Amino acid sequence: MPEPIDFMREALALARANVAEGGRPFGAVLARDGKALARAANRIHATNDPTAHAELLAIREAAQRSGSPRLDAPSSTPAAIRARCAWPRCTCAA
């Protein structure tokens, strides 16, 4: 079964891929019972939607897939990350 660090690595890969596509360095994975239930990258600039944060998009997708807005099961694991990038003002890292 994957460990939480595996989901963090996947979120980091999403963030890096998003930067390569011209987006912001944010990715998120929401896992339940050791399986990724939802994945997302920041889409704010691509959609002009100020609520399109990676973690919010992953939560929305997970709720749709699970058929419930309740994602607080003890076995749910959120992983959101900001990747290092070349922009001078980016100082947070995974």
Q: So which residues are the catalytic ones?
A: 55
d(CA 22, CA 35): 28
Tokens describing residue 94: 């995974």
Q: Are 76 and 30 in contact (CB under 8 A)?
A: yes
**Residues 6+ away with beta carbon under 8 Å from 59:** 30, 38, 71, 78
